[in-house]
Amino acid sequence: MKVADIRHRIGLRLQQAAREKDPDSLALALDYGRAVLLALASLDEEAEVDLSEATVNTATAARILSFHVEYVRDLIRREVLPASKRNNEYDIRLVDLMDFIASPRYQAVGAPGAVARAALRRFRDWGMTVWRRPWEEPGSAV
């Protein structure tokens, strides 16, 4: 399938999930969409891709999971996340990464916390107060 077609289908699926108003369905569609879009980011629109055979390196997997790259390597070494090694770098099948995202293990590892911390950092970088403890002075936002 062409990369352009895959991107289009992901967009349609995200729109559908948003209209369903089911937070779990939307969260999973966003996670899957993010994984596929990041895996295909460097490819040309006309490139042919078989998603069942697509792989990503540890840096891309870390972006997809919102984890540090060393943490992804640790997951691989502990055999929590399947991968193969090629040219001194790990290749992670996109299918295995999506299985990991859908698993309770991903939730237990702290993905929501990692994503929340990253979002809070972005808001703070933009100068926006997202949250602060009641006893903290204004301007000491997290």
Taking the chain (142 residues) in runs of 10, the rounded mean pLDDT of each run is: 92 88 81 89 92 91 91 92 91 90 66 51 55 51 46
| Residue 130 pLDDT | 47
**pLDDT computed for residue 126 by the predictor:** 58
From CA 123, how far away is CA 20, in angstroms rounded? 27
Nearest CA to 26 out of 39, 14, 42 is that of 14
Query: What does pTM read for this prediction?
Result: 0.68
H/E element holding 72?
helix 69-77
Q: Which residues contact 30 (CB under 8 A, 6 or more apart)?
A: 14, 17
- Give the C-alpha separation, 40 to 78, whole Å: 27
Would you state the pLDDT for residue 142?
45
Instruction: Note the pLDDT of residue 51.
Output: 85
